Structure 1
């Protein structure tokens, strides 16, 4: 029996054990308070035999249908990362998660940073920004703010100094790679169309080859008048929270490292 499939079975068994019976919709009530969710409970809810469901937890390599796996995800209340592991482990492509609100803990971490700190989703729509970001880049907190749409608009040239040489190429590369590398995303398609309609961007799109990386260690000039009357060299840091794979956390800090943004 495949070791990876066996390990997946153990994970499913643990997820079932951790699922409170009272949280499961449609569970037939028994006498007294249920201590745990059983394999038979899950099988009955999914309309399969107990033996078929037990095979999943035992790590047997069977042709589990997508409908069955989707049902397991629903009954066990699995999160996006757990659901993706179960789908991939049984030979299915994980469903593309819908937009979700970042966890309160992540929002708090973004807020605590002493730099320009914000979150955006897979389509580069801004979903949260801290007070420092709102103060120095007020566009981030406007309704419908999108990083790429703004970056390729005329308005961005006020802040993104030396735009052609320092900003346009890396940003366009990130947009193109996210567009090609992700699953279907109508909102991202719309963002790409909007960016390509911006003046001179289509020419750049046709001539530019994405490198695959944003030069995170390279200082980039930005005009932040509340911080300095002259353009400030900033460094861009970006990460993807492990429990929110469609979320990008972006931070901008002074390149000299001597001060935080006020």
Structure 2
């Protein structure tokens, strides 16, 4: 449960359905005041037990806008004197005729159905009856519409390369010498003379190289798509019973439901 130290002057107050009701301008021990504005014709008194949540520096009440509209008609919700007692901001607004005895009424009105019928008597102020309608909000999100797959297969083929190689071969030739040429170091022993022959061998090595590139381009194409959805709106029928001075017509010059009057 929220307490006095959770509420500060100037904080924005909203209903449970997100409607901005006003700002806090005075804080008491068991309740705080919302400033008079477009939604409330007078300063509105709220108990800390009526706070549903505090998010982002804003107070969220546990009542909807429709329930608060009916509760704002209760004169006992307002402090009528400027004297301050130990129980709250205004003695009259917090006593037995104020919030203390209206707790059951508050819970009943908060659960009031829009289709129910209620009678407002003894009021001299203007009564604002909100008329609602639904609007379409179109949101776009990215989804996968398809895909392109590029597959690489391994193809094996035989490649023939002609490579020139060299090798040594032997030609034996016997030729005459000058007669009577002295022989140096003649040992007259058997021996074998070995002459190595060399040749080139072919060794094949493979290495990977880039042959070509395949480039995939994605272009963004904008097209128009039509969507249709049914929306609801409220229609107002004005009926007068008894002796009513003058005619009353519905005048709705603006889309703001708080500014529509009779």
- TM category, shorter: under 0.3
Q: Which has the larger radius of gyration?
A: 2
**Higher-helix-fraction structure:** 1
